Amino acid sequence: MMSDETDADARRAVVAKRVDFGDPDLTEIRDLAAAAGYTVVGELSQSRTEDAAFMFGEGKVSELRDLVIARDAGFVIIDNDVGPYQTFNIGSELPDGVEVVDRFTLILEIFGQRANTRKAQLQVELAELRYELPRAEAKASLAKRDERPGFMGLGEYDESVERDIKRQISEIRDELASIAEKEESRREKRRESGFDLVALAGYTNAGKSTLMRQLAAELDVDENADRHPDLVTTAESEDMLFTTLGTTTRRAAMERRDVLLTDTVGFVSDLPHWLVESFRSTLDSVYRADLVLLVVDASESVEAMREKLVTSHETLYERNEAPILTVFNKIDRLAPGELADKRAALSGLAPDPVAVSARTGAGIAELRDRVEAELPPWERERLVLPLSDDAMSLVSWIYDNGHVEEETYAEDQVTVAFEARPTVVAKARSKAGDLAAVESA
């Protein structure tokens, strides 16, 4: 958000949206504008087929100009994918100095404000370059066709710009790939240490960060190599879009299993492929988890919930192999009987959801139980160890990395029965074998 009221007032904006049919919903674009620090002072919408030159009909663009003047707005934020020529044409009809911002430019602006780590900054740069590339190509096409540099006010074309954008995209991809390798190495080390990895997924403002605060123990885990662990705070729970851009990982408070819970950037509707692809490495925390909690805002309409569930499944099942547990959040906002109706209506997409209120804590205990039940099964093992200091160290290690069900002592041996991840069981067996070898030597 802007630092003070004066700055916010200086970013007065009119939001606008066109749909092919039906009633345009400007709720999300208002929220996005507020998240970027704009003050929305007016709204305009239209239901009609797209105009190739202006996106809206010419008469509606005239209304937009009058509204901008009446509300003293300096920005027009359009909740559509506006082409470069349409942007120019709309801007030409507005007062001098009024900037036209489309939906994806606005989202990139928000991402840029939230990018506090090297990885997040790279992803924002990648998205910006991918956004700019087709515009650079459009300038090339116009310049070659019309032989007039700067045609339609798009600026003088220089073919080196296109090459430079492609070079920068390649370099950023390489650096993100290197970061991804380090993160995968961290994930595997955590699994080897007995941790299960659970990821929170879902649309922005579904309540993921608030839910994380309910589930998390008092331990931060550093996900950002360039930040001190003390600065990696618990995911915030402000009612603001994109509060969480980078990943935030915390140890979850579970009864039996050691779980690391990761929150990441929320999904947003109608994102183009190039924008989703730019943040693919952030979604690796979801794709490579042992369990995904898909958080859905249960206070929304069945139609909105269904649409978001379908889109989320398309995104998650593209590369994800982990089981998905759907969480209906914000049940404190539902009327009596409404939850049951929504469960029934959405049973095909969410056959057995857990219903919670991250704000009040209702249903959290059941969610913890379901998380432990849905995680990959542990192996059971029973080891008989020669009684020694090294054996007691191994027993302590098993307590730290698994769940001990029995610990008994005889005169010269200790027996420990436990369950743990397969990797932990294998390590325990190996260490027990080493102890036996030393004893018999």
Residues making up the binding site: 202-209, 244, 263-266, 329-332, 357-359
How far is the CA of 36 from the CAs of 160, 276, 307, in angstroms?
Answer: 32, 19, 25
252: tokens are 């979850």
Could you list the residues known to form a binding site for GTP, using ranges: 202-209, 263-266, 329-332, 357-359
Instruction: Please report which residue ranges of 155-272 form alpha helices under DSSP H.
Output: 159-192, 208-215
Could you list the residues known to form a binding site for Mg(2+), using ranges: 209, 244
The H or E element containing residue 355 is strand 354-355
User: Which residues partner with 416 through β-bridges?
Assistant: 383, 407
Closest C-alpha among 179, 262, 178 to residue 221: 262
Beta-strand relationship, 403-409 and 413-420: antiparallel
Q: Letter for the amino acid at 34?
A: A
Closest C-alpha among 279, 290, 205 to residue 247: 279
Tokens 């490579």 belong to which residue? 288
How far is the CA of 126 from the CAs of 111, 204, 240, 283, in angstroms?
Answer: 11, 21, 24, 15
Q: Is the dihedral of CA 210, 212, 216, 220 positive or negative?
A: negative
DSSP conformation letters of 110-165:
HHHHH--SHHHHHHHHHHHHHHHHHHHHHHHHHHHHH--TTGGGS----HHHHHHH
Burial of 317 (0-12, 13-18, 19+ CB in 10 A): exposed
302: tokens are 């069945």
**129 near 137, Cβ under 8 Å?**
no
Closest C-alpha among 203, 180, 42, 15 to residue 103: 15
| Residue 34 to residue 43: CA distance in whole angstroms | 14
Closest C-alpha among 72, 62, 78 to residue 30: 78
